[in-house]
Amino acid sequence: EIVLTQSPGTLSLSPGERVTLSCRASQSVSNSYLAWHQQKRGQAPRLLIYAASSRATGIPDRFSGSGSGTDFTLTISRLEPEDFAVYFCQQYGSSPYTFGQGTKLEIK
């Protein structure tokens, strides 16, 4: 199975800053079938990015994704207060689906 490794585990940042999160796969992700989800405490996870770089419906354009093969990134161009959450990557190109451990963004 494909193992996804996210780094860093936690980031302390201020609103308005730019941030780039990393997701590295143990083998190539088929057709860049890589998604990013946002998870807030007590809420349903929300799909942000699919196919590595396509924004899901209703997602603000400050969120962007890039990458291919084994290296993927999620960038938030300017952090808003509501963006402080956990972000995890997920590959859906091969079975079993696998997820990263998540990166937590916390307010500095």
Instruction: Give the binding range for other proteins (CB under 8 A) out of 16-24, 60-68, 71-79, 88-96.
Output: 88-96
CB 27 within 8 A of CB 5: no
Burial of 89 (0-12, 13-18, 19+ CB in 10 A): buried
String marking each residue 21-40 x if it binds other proteins according to CB under 8 A: ---------xx-x-x-x---
Q: Does 64 bind other proteins (CB under 8 A)?
A: no
Shortest distance, position 16 Cβ to other proteins, whole Å = 29
Distances (CA, A) of 85 to 25, 32, 78, 97, 105: 22, 24, 14, 22, 5
Q: Which residues contact other proteins by CB under 8 A?
A: 30-31, 33, 35, 37, 43-47, 50-51, 56, 88, 90, 92-102
